[in-house]
């Protein structure tokens, strides 16, 4: 992967001095996220998330397939990422960068391995048919903190997605279109949110949701993934400056506060958009029609 230009010594000194005083170039406190904007596409499961100038899109798709032989009662859930020059000139087409590997691993741990999606509910006929749910992440613009933006995009898309209703009669499976039957939401068990802390100098200085300019100056980072039940799904730190245990605990407390507000915003926009779609497609409540 080609590298972006290193910041000049003057810029680096200016930014570090500002951070020491609790100031950032965009006017945020050190513990604040940039403005979060969540938009939905015309279809279920299409989400566009912006954190400041960072922009990530997620799309959920589902198809019927055969389950894995060692998990006959489970459906399949997979997450794919794509970092291209569209997001930043630092990325190259057709070459998987170290950053993409880390992002994929973080999102995989945060959502799939934390069992945010109930894969047993994706089983149709044990050992024969199941739903294969795929989350595709596309990075549109990279201005720092791709991990947190991607996590918000994927979990929001999973909550927004609706799969077709099906009927099983013996060995025959009928998939009903949206015109025939009300589509069915996925069984999302909890809502994990990634909160990434960037550390500067000796690690005593930290900031949430670093911009790209700040990321280029940091000496380490740590991602804490939690849900609204105060359950820590993962703590990920790949090298960099050493952080003591008390700092990790303090970061976890701060991350929980941010997680609560982000989940509230996700729920607000979900309720608003799903209500519009139900009125548009079904003329009322989809849950009432399903019952």
Q: What is the CATH number of the domain that holds 149?
A: 3.30.230.70
Q: Mapping DSSP to helix (H, G, I), strand (E, B) and coil, where does residue 103 land?
A: helix
Does 4 fall in a domain?
no
Instruction: Quote the pLDDT of residue 83.
Output: 83
Rounded mean pLDDT of 127-156? 96
pTM beyond cutoff 0.85:
yes
d(Cα 220, Cα 215) in Å, to the nearest integer?
A: 9
Residue 10 lies in a domain: no
Give the containing element (helix H, strand E) for 34: none
In the predicted structure, residue 1 carries a pLDDT above the cut 50: no
For residue 97, being part of any structural domain is answered with yes
Model confidence at 2, pLDDT cuts 50, 70, 90, reads very low
Stretch 99-113: mean pLDDT: 90
* pLDDT value for 82: 84
Tell whether 2 is covered by a domain. no
State the angle between helix axes of 98-107 and 146-160 in degrees (0 to 180), rounded to the nearest 10: 40
In a domain, 189, yes or no: yes
- Residue 190: give the domain boundaries: 19-290
Number of domains in the chain: 1
Residue 266 lies in a domain: yes
Average pLDDT over residues 235-241: 89
Q: Does the pLDDT value for residue 147 go beyond 70?
A: yes
Mean local confidence (pLDDT), 49-62 = 97
């Amino acid at each position: 992967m080609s590298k972006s230009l290193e910041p000049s010594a003057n810029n680096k000194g200016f930014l570090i001095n500002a951070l020491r005083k609790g100031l950032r170039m965009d006017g945020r406190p050190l513990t604040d996220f940039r403005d979060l904007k969540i938009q939905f596409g015309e279809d279920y499961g299409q989400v566009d998330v912006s954190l400041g100038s960072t922009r990530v899109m997620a799309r959920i798709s589902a198809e019927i397939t055969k389950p894995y032989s060692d998990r006959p009662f489970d459906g399949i859930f997979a997450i794919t990422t794509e970092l291209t020059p569209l997001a930043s000139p630092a990325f190259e087409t057709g070459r998987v960068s170290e950053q993409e590997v880390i992002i994929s691993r973080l999102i995989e741990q945060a959502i799939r391995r934390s069992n945010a999606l109930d894969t047993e509910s994706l089983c149709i006929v044990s050992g024969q048919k199941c739903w294969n749910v795929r989350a595709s992440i596309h990075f549109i613009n990279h201005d720092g903190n791709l991990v947190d933006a991607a996590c918000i995009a994927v979990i929001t898309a999973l909550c927004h997605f609706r799969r077709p209703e099906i009927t099983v009669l013996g060995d025959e499976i009928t998939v009903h279109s949206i015109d025939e039957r009300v589509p069915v939401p996925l069984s999302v068990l909890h809502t994990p949110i990634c909160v990434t802390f960037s550390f500067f100098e000796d690690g005593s200085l930290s900031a949430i949701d670093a911009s790209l300019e700040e990321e280029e100056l940091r000496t380490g980072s740590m991602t804490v993934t939690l849900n609204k039940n105060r359950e820590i799904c993962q703590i990920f730190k790949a090298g960099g400056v050493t952080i003591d245990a008390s700092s990790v605990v303090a970061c976890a407390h701060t991350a929980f506060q941010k997680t609560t507000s982000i989940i509230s915003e996700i729920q607000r926009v979900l309720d608003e958009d799903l209500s519009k779609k139900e009125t548009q497609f079904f003329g009322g409540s989809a849950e009432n029609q399903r019952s």
